[in-house]
């Protein structure tokens, strides 16, 4: 069975705006996004369904309101992982 292709999407969040897609890629590009995040100590969360939805957006596009709840859960995970919420 063929291993699924790596898909990665990077978001940037600066209040008061909605998070934006700043990088997206599959295969080697997706793996490079993951490697760069880990290299810089950015926690990585696997969520294939959300990644697929976000990958359909253009770079620098704000996430649509329909994805706010799912992305908020990821941001909460990241903040906990970084030690900001305890």
Residue 33 belongs to domain spanning: 7-81
Task: Please state, in angstroms and as integers, the Cα–Cα distance from residue 17 to each residue in 7, 14, 51, 63, 65, following that order.
Answer: 25, 6, 20, 10, 12
Residue 27 belongs to some domain of the structure: yes
Residue 1 belongs to some domain of the structure: no
For residue 16, whether the previous peptide bond is cis, meaning omega lies within 30 degrees of 0, is yes
Domain count of the fold of the chain: 1
Residue 69 belongs to some domain of the structure: yes
pLDDT tens, N- to C-terminus, the chain (86 residues): 666 789 999 999 898 999 999 999 999 999 999 999 999 988 888 999 999 999 999 999 999 999 999 999 988 887 787 665 44
> Domain of 47: which CATH number?
3.40.1690.10
Residue 73 belongs to some domain of the structure: yes
Residue 2 belongs to some domain of the structure: no
- What local confidence, expressed as pLDDT, does residue 86 receive? 43
How many C-beta atoms surround the C-beta of residue 69 within 10 A? 8
Residue 59 belongs to some domain of the structure: yes
SS3 state of residue 40: coil
């Amino acid at each position: 069975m063929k291993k699924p292709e790596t898909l990665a999407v990077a978001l940037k969040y600066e209040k008061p705006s909605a998070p934006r897609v700043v990088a997206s890629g599959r295969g080697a590009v997706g793996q490079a996004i993951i490697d760069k995040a880990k290299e810089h100590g950015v926690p990585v969360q696997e969520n294939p369904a959300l990644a697929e939805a976000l990958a359909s957006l253009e770079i620098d596009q704000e996430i649509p309101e329909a994805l706010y709840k799912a992305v908020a859960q990821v941001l909460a995970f990241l903040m906990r992982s970084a030690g900001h919420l305890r």
